[in-house]
Amino acid sequence: MSYLLSLLIGAALGSIPFGLILTRAAGLGDVRTIGSGSIGATNVLRTGNKKVAAATLVLDVLKGVIALLVCQYLWGRDAGLLAGLAAVVSHCYPVWLGFKGGKGVATAAGVLLAAAWWMGLIVAGVWLATAFLTRISSASALVACAAAPIVALLAGDMNLALFALVLALFVAWRHSANIRRLIAGTEPRIGKGK
């Protein structure tokens, strides 16, 4: 029962479409009609409003943090990880938006930060370094997510490494179109339109 409740809590939190809510509240229209059509912070940035994009990023991260920490507090680490995974999946496939959401990067970052703060900070550092070098959000997300299981493995936490690997594979799968554009050299850079 605790696992089912964890799934439901994680899914409920993850499905809140902050990118869509904030862009509409700011009078920027429907973020799904621009760029990639995603509700995530990178696509919100394409509206030109950095404050709304930053707020979307923070709130999407918090979805993962809150889902994991609440369920971990109530029912233990495994329940927390399950809730975190549900938050990421439901961010990507929110029932309220016809299962068309974001790419899951910010929410996954929140889950990793809540699961092990040190790993979350290292992964965030990898994202920032890659973003600085490439100016490509998707490349930064893919490299950072790929680093997470390696960091957990090096720290000796096999369960966390396996969990981080599942998240990394899911995020990579959500970025399949981005990967094709990266290979073709046509992926847009941060701050540029698609």
pLDDT by residue (tens digit) across 91-148? 999 999 999 999 999 999 999 999 999 999 999 999 999 999 999 999 999 999 999 9
pTM reported for the whole predicted model: 0.94
Please give the span between the terminal C-alpha atoms of the chain, in angstroms, as a whole number. 44
State the helix-helix crossing angle for 77-92 and 105-115, rounded to 10 degrees. Answer: 170
> For the CA atoms of the chain, what is the radius of gyration?
16
Mean pLDDT of the chain: 95
- Percentage above 90 pLDDT, the chain: 94
Q: Would you say 100 and 53 are in contact if contact means Cβ atoms under 8 Å apart? A: no
Q: Is the pLDDT of residue 159 over 50?
A: yes
